[in-house]
Homo-oligomer: A and B are copies of this chain.
Amino acid sequence: VLNKQETPVVISEATRKKVLEAARTLGYVPSAAARALRKGACRTIGILGNAPEIFLDSLRTVGLDTEMMRALMMEALHAQVHVLLLTGVVEDDHSYNNQLAEIGMVDGLVVYNRDLSAGGWFLDAIQNSGRPLVYLMEYPQEPAVCYFAPDDVQGGRLAAEMLLAAGHKRIGFLTENIYPGIFGRRRAGWAEALRQAGIMPADAWVLTQQTQLDARIVQSERLTALVCANQWLAFNFRAKTAKASGLAVPDDISLVAVTCESPNSRHSADLARAYSPLTDIVAAGTKALIELVSGKELAEQRHLFPFIEQPGVSVKALVES
């Protein structure tokens, strides 16, 4: 009765009800541990974000954000798969064992937006254990890994091109010292587009979120526009830096954000953006992981999602003087 979906055994409706009723009154719940032990799989995937130090580091640096969580949960729910939150810190031997045990609780893992520059013994241990691993957003350089990520270089290029098309020439890049991979690639795209337009992207044009300094650079370098490495930076520039220094967006400075966040989430619905929906990336990656866990092979290992142009009020067209 309890495993009815798999066995074609015919059971009278009356006894079926009786069994179910008994199970309920006894508070019977199947032992997931026993089932998993026997089956050799637990229909659970792990999600590994950034280490908790980074969680705490900055209140807005959320390792796992809600938009991605929702997409992940939707896929997991659809595939009847459970989701375990992993941490992946190591402090001592005891924690080491605890971490290993964590790997033993999942059939496969999704690594989301994780800073990969730090030592990756945990990721190595996962690889060694033979469990499938799918990277989302941030990914390592090794050729063998499977990832789903936005095409950051193209995104940076697109954002710069949107501003070039509006007549801007002196276009800066606003970034921050996190997500070195993602932001680095977006910066490369920005630089590429500028060079292609015959403009030399000076290092001095790269702003790094230091309110006073940034405003001074905008003025001294006579920047008329900025490509922002993500949506939050654009929002924050408009709300803080621009306001504090008397700059108006877009009258004095135009902004285009390179982003995977949906326009509805958080702030910035009205910003001009190069947009590659996070939801699509997460959904595709999660689906792929679930297939890998079920023993299927993927046709492609590496998946890059393009950014598309979304106009907004933060860009002002410049008329050539």
Contact = CB atoms under 8 A, between A and B. Distances in A.
Contacts of A299: none
B62 A64 contact: no
Oligomeric state, in number of copies? 2
Contacts of A100: 29-30
A235 to B, nearest CB: 10
A64 B60 CA distance: 16
Contacts of A102: 32, 82
Contact of A105 (B44, B93, B98, B101): B44
A87 interface: yes
Interface string A1-13: 0111100000000
A234 B98 CA distance: 43
Interface residues of A, number: 65
Nearest to A64: B69
Given A73-B55, A97-B2, A27 B87 contact: no
Contacts of A129: 27-29
Interface stretch (A111-119, A137-145, A165-173, A261-269): A261-269
A32 B66 contact: no
A265 B58 CA distance: 11
A87 B69 CA distance: 12
Interface stretch (A34-42, A180-188, A219-227, A245-253): A34-42
Contacts of A76: 85
A293 to B, nearest CB: 15
